[in-house]
Amino acid sequence: MRTLEPILAEHPFFAGLDKRHLEVLTGCASNVVFQEGHIIFREGEEANTFYLIREGKVALEIHAAGMGTITIQTLNSGDILGWSWLVPPYRWHFDARAIEATRAIAMDGECLRRKCEQDHDLGYELLKRFAEVITQRLQATRLQLLDVYSTKERHTT
């Protein structure tokens, strides 16, 4: 029977991970497909999954009174969707919507937390990878906050 292990191994997020860890992670993984427009999760819902996007595009959105739906970020093939499963109280902070037909691997967060408690090496590997993703997103958010293209921009062209 074919498992998801080779697919996990090919995803950039898991690149270079030990085979024994990949085997453990495969036990928490399942294939998912979202049609265009599908809401993958909503703000405030319980967060017990994260997704490795294989193909497609997902928008992280938030609703603000008087402003409608604002897209905070889009995620594409090779990206990770969701880290709220890592941190109590395990609730999503944004909505996630497939804006294109999207194929992903869903990773069961409860399963992963349990496995990481049992195998701290695995937990450390996983956290290192998430720390990198979180750092990149934090830096990107800071750059967005700088609003470098506003009319205060001093470029003369």
Partner 1 sequence: MTMVPSPFRVQQVRHETHDTFTLELEPVKGSDSFAFQAGQFNMLYVFGVGEIPISISSDPTNPRILMHTTREVGTVTKAMGKLRRGDVIGVRGPFGTPWPVEQAEGADVVIVAGGIGLAPLRSALYQMLANRDRYEKIVLLYGTRTPNDILYRRELQRWRSQFDLEVHITVDRAMGGWRSNVGVVTSLIPRAPFDARNSIALVCGPEIMMRFTVLELQRRGVPPSQIYISMERNMKCGTGICGHCQFGPYFVCKDGPVFRYDRVQHLFERREI
User: Which positions ≥6 away from 56 have C-beta within 8 Å?
Assistant: 34, 76, 77, 98, 100, 101, 102, 103, 104
Strands across the sheet with 102-108, in order? 29-34, 102-108, 49-55, 80-81
Q: For partner 1, which is the closer residue by CB, 92 or 108?
A: 92
Q: CB of 78: closest distance to partner 1 in angstroms?
A: 6
* Nearest distance from C-beta of residue 50 to partner 1, angstroms: 18
Q: How far is the CB of 113 from partner 1 (least distance, A)?
A: 28
Would you give the DSSP letter of residue 29? Answer: E
Of 2 and 154, which has the nearer Cβ to partner 1? 154
Cβ-based nearer residue to partner 1, 62 or 87: 62
Q: Which is nearer to partner 1, 128 or 154 (CB)?
A: 154
Applying CB under 8 A, the residues found at the interface with partner 1 are: 57, 59, 67-74, 76-78, 99-100, 136, 139-140, 143-144, 146-151, 153-157
Closest alpha carbon to 112 in 31, 3, 47, 24: 24
Q: How many residues does the chain have?
A: 157
Least CB distance to partner 1 at residue 9 (A): 18
Do β-strands 102-108 and 49-55 pair in parallel, antiparallel, or remain unpaired? antiparallel
